[in-house]
A and B are shown apart, each in its own frame.
Chain A
Amino acid sequence: MTREAVVTGVGVVAPGGVGAKAFWELLSSGRTATRAITLFDPEGFRSRIAAECDFDAAGVLTPDEIARMDRYVQFGMAATREAVAEAGLETDEESSWRTAVSMGSAVGGTTQLEAEYVTASERGASWTIDHRKVTADLFRVFSPAPLAGEVAGAVGARGPVHTVSTGCTSGLDAIGYGLRLIEEGKADVVVAGAAESPVSPITVACFDAIRATSTRNDDPAHASRPFDRTRDGFVLGEGAAVLVLEEAGHARRRGARARCRVSGFATRGNAYHMTGLTREGLEMAEAIERALRHARVDPSGIDYVNAHGSGTQQNDRHETAAVKRALGAHAHDTLVSSIKSMVGHSLGAIGAIELAACVLAMDHDTVPPTANLDVPDPDCDLDYVPHEAREAPLRNVLSVGSGFGGFQSAVVLTPGERAR
């Protein structure tokens, strides 16, 4: 008997919308949350725009948690609390060992690490560091592993707890790994998601150096332009999303509502280049085909493709080719959109945020639009749902991601009750 994973809770912290409800309002309205960077002074940087979260930690976290946790961990905790509350999840002595956590983050605590570095190195003047000037508990920030740890502590999980860091596919992969923990019987509940707060000088400078981010600094609201011919790079974002995954029978027995199933996952490497993508997208197509087979969904059954759609020239071409290869003629009939047009690209977190968007889209039978898609690109010739959300019955939904290292991931969501 195959064990299936249903989604019983969703939590989101996203630019323009903290909480799943506000997040969906933003997405379904087609508004964009990209703006001039406020988290630090971006003077002198090439790209000076980002999608930032207006997040008030005091509303959801204790003063001690706020003091202890880096911004991305705070996002992750807020999303966790929302998801767990919706799921009505409670753990006891016995179930705690059957509760797992799978969280993703690409760059972890770099924001706080950078701030501490600046102090301890006297703004980069010294290679050796005055260690007495750093916070004593900086080891909690040093690697992103404490993200999963904090989430585990908050939900009382004592089963498998891990942090995934596959760059920009971290969010999809963390949820995909969670699916496997349930399928293999390693856990009955997995709190799975991802969090990121990368809007800091070093990360912005990183992407400046490789011309990956948009320089539409005079028009931030229209800077993230997936699939538009005038796109000039992605817009950095931040945020978190968490799904409560639960073995279907476990959810049924305790009367939890299954919003949908996470039914397929695959990831592949392109073995081509750390940042470059091929025109053909064969490896992403392979990941999609594998995920569909895992989900036992025919390509023609996909009603919506939530695209990686970062808004770089190469990505959107690559991805369009991959979707066409994997879905065949059906690619032109299905709806495709990129919410990065509205909430930016939050690196490791975005895959989880996009899956949260997919769950909400299925709930509402509505596809969120691709904002800013004004000028068609002959290389990108699918129906990207420009500007306005579109109502459509959504049964099976595919979300794809692509990241540095050449990683290509795909997750399939299907209705909560398997068609019998």
Chain B
Amino acid sequence: MSYAATHDQHDDHHGAPKGFFQRWCMSTNHKDIGTLYLIFALTMFFIGGSFAMLIRAELFKPGLQLMQPYFFNQLTTMHALVMIFGAIMPAFVGLGNWMIPLMVGAPDMALPRMNNLSFWILPFAFVLLLSTLFLPGGGPAGGWTMYPPLSLQSDSLAYVVFAVHLMGISSIMGAINIIATILNMRAPGMDLLKMPVFVWSWLITAFLLIAVMPVLAGAVTMLLTDKYFGTNFFNPGGGGDPVLYQHIFWFFGHPEVYIMILPAFGIISEIVPTFARKPIFGYKAMVFAIACIAFLSFIVWAHHMFAVGLPLGAEIFFMYATMLISVPTGVKVFNWVATMWGGSMTFETPMLFAIAFIILFTIGGFSGLMLALVPADFQYHDTYFVVAHFHYVLVTGALFAIIAAAYYWMPKWTGNMYNEFWGKVHFWNSVIWVNVLFFPQHFLGLAGMPRRIPDYNVAFANFNMISSIGGFLFGASQLIFLGVLIHCAFFSKKKATDRVWEGAKGLEWTVPSPAPHHTFEMPPVIHDDELAHGHVND
């Protein structure tokens, strides 16, 4: 390549390129890459969801109906890995990709080629991970946490470890890109404390990702060397300790939990003010609350390990540190409610999902507070109560926020309005069946039903059957979502306006719908009145 040839290398096409490979595999466009992330996440959501359907089918009745226990264990492990690393995280990165440059007035992400690499690693990583299901010996079956010594018994370990390495590389590069975009690419006048809360939430999330994904890489590398190269990190006979793995894993794992919820907080903080037609209550408090939660996430990891035999002092420290998190989280919930207070509210589908998020995520938060109590946790640990807890925060929390975001921003992405009637049908089906699915699991757990088992005592039969029915119908409801998305993208006749929502504020609503292939090629002039948080006093 000569210097002359590179001289005019800017991405100066006015529209999207024509060739399929050119457009999607060589992209440096944040919107196209964001779309790829979102489509990938949706695909993984249905693959992980089909695992969940099989799990609930097996648990429909006591006794073994459909599968061998070992395959059941593979399903629970894969369901978690696919949903966490394949669905929720890429969906947030996709939303960040699409919206952060639009929200801060940047032409694209700071490092567009690395952005493309971050995405394209993922499909390959998941091919590697999912292929283990078809290998002799099957996929990983020791749970997504991969605790040794159990995880070391599986032949698929090397595949899983390398898949996790790839996902980690992807996440770290994605996070670096997001930080560089937010800190370096903002349009003049977009001060840090004028940024939308969604951008703030992603800035802090990206920091968490860079801080903890390498720790996970280290932990799984130790698993790899313990299994294949004869090290003794987790072998007490050689001076190691399997609990060491749990410490390292959860030092990653707890911030990871917030990686999956902080962007959701950001989304809800965008949607609620739009449909309440009021600025968010306590903008600065919302930002500081996110930062507080992120800080606390580094000093609470051992609350996942209360029953493993920690020294008493450690149990007490981690119990109190964990309960502290409810303070900034409480601030957030209070401020969302206060934002709605006295607002001129309308209840379009994104708002319905956002309100459901606030209520149901809070339920998940309360059950988390119960789990934080050491003496009580000895009863709850590894029961269905834990399953109910984290599905309330991840399904009705993270996933509902992603669905809300999809409805909220789809008109901006596609230029078409989604069908409000079917959106509401999707909402009511989702919100009813998700509670039928997960609420009984609280009682199952309190009554002592352990998690990760294919068979159970007949005493648990009724609630499991109710839960499974809820599960099947919740799963089926998501097909409505798929239908609404496809209709909106390709068939909807109703064009979206630029502002889309009457109460919407922020730079992303000043560009046309659908957002052109290139936006803000010149830094926009920012008028504080256009911003949701243009005049921050509180």
- Do A and B form a real pair? no
B positions within 8 Å CB-CB of A: none
A positions within 8 Å CB-CB of B: none
